[in-house]
């Protein structure tokens, strides 16, 4: 198992322990993390939960989707559906947990890492933290509750991050609502000891938040109605990086992600956003650019995806249509 799950003092402790893989989240890890939360939910000896990770490079750089890719290539689309379904249920359990969850997020925090740390009640970041939802670069959409977080970012930051996959430093992450407290990483070990001893988040004290460049950036172009209009509204001189990303990423993923971030603004609970995300990801290995994106970025690493699925409004609507009996539902009240 690539998680160290234990109790220490008054804290439930979950540590990612595969730093060489940038602590990528596998299906088994998602299930184990959810089980641990369930075990501690009504345990009076556990006052709070601390989630952290080994290694300096990443808290969790995303989901471990190689198995989903290989199964999809072989015609098995159920393995991916099972992974995403269980991962999203774990994400919802974190968001709704009745006890404090403190996440210490260093280095890369992307995709599935945001699904773990980004929904904790107390989200701690440091100087090395880089948070992103880069899924449009692999033919997917911001999932794991990412559309919910993006939809609540100020102004048009959500659309910008969804389409470009841009990385946020600590100041931007707090400004955009993906983190809560900036605390230098040298202080984290002592803070974790204090949390274990006291079982009280009152020991957390944030420092002055670093600058947030996104707060001063004109992203009004990302309020345009569709990706083509956004591209036309961007200034080639000032927004060269954004334009390059919009040229590089999957057109279908960007069109769907834009629709989903805007739809999530009307959601009352994160579970609604997760269910909408599952409609896309449940179909991803069979009906989207996902397999080609993973091939290009993760398997062959040629960084030259040949996007082939047209980004039409009807195509986006079909990918986001209800799944009938396969719909991600929340009968358990989560």
Domains of the chain, residue spans? 3-321
pLDDT attached to residue 161: 98
Mean pLDDT for 133-160 is 97
Computed from CA positions of residues 283, 224, 162, 105, in that sequence, does the dihedral angle turn out positive or negative? Answer: negative
Mean pLDDT of the chain: 96
List, for residues 49-105, the tens digit of each pLDDT value: 999 999 999 999 999 899 999 999 999 999 999 999 999 999 999 999 999 999 999
The CA angle 260-148-42, to the nearest 5 degrees, is 140
pLDDT attached to residue 333: 45
Q: Indicate the fold that domain 3-321 takes in CATH.
A: 2-enoyl-CoA Hydratase; Chain A, domain 1 (3.90.226)
How sure is the predictor about 201, in pLDDT bands with cuts at 50, 70 and 90?
A: very high
Catalytic positions: 63, 112, 135, 143
List, for residues 120-140, the tens digit of each pLDDT value: 999 999 999 999 999 999 999
pLDDT attached to residue 310: 87
Mean pLDDT for 164-174 is 98
Nearest to 334 by CA among 86, 151, 51: 86
Nearest to 123 by CA among 109, 111, 135, 140: 109
């Amino acid at each position: 198992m690539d998680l160290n799950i234990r109790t220490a003092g008054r804290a439930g402790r979950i540590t990612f322990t595969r730093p060489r893989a940038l602590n990528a989240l596998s299906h088994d890890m998602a299930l184990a993390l959810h089980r641990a939360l369930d075990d501690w939910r009504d345990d009076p000896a556990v006052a709070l939960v601390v989630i952290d990770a080994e290694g300096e490079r990443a808290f969790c750089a995303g989901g471990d989707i190689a198995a989903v890719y290989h199964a999809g290539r072989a015609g098995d689309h159920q393995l991916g559906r099972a992974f995403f379904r269980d991962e999203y249920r774990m994400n919802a359990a974190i968001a709704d947990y009745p006890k404090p969850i403190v996440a210490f997020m260093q280095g890369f925090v992307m995709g599935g890492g945001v699904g773990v740390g980004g929904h904790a009640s107390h989200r701690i970041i440091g100087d090395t933290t880089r948070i992103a939802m880069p899924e449009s670069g692999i033919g997917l959409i911001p999932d794991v509750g990412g559309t919910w977080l993006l939809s609540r970012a100020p102004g048009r930051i959500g659309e910008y991050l969804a389409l470009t996959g841009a990385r946020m430093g600590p100041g931007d992450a707090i400004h955009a609502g993906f983190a809560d407290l900036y605390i230098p990483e040298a202080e984290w070990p002592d803070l974790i000891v204090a949390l274990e001893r006291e079982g009280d988040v009152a020991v957390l004290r944030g420092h002055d938040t670093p600058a947030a460049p996104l707060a001063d950036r004109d992203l009004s172009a990302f309020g345009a109605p569709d990706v083509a209009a956004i591209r036309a509204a961007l200034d080639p001189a000032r927004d060269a990086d954004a334009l390059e990303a919009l040229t590089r990423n999957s057109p279908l993923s960007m069109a769907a992600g834009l629709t989903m971030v805007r739809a999530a603004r009307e959601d009352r609970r994160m579970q609604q956003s997760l269910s909408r995300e599952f409609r896309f990801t449940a179909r991803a290995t069979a009906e989207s650019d996902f397999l080609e994106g993973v091939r290009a970025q993760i398997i062959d690493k040629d960084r030259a995806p040949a996007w082939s699925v047209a980004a039409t409004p009807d195509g986006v609507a079909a990918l986001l249509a209800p799944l009938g009996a396969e719909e991600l539902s929340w009968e358990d009240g989560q």
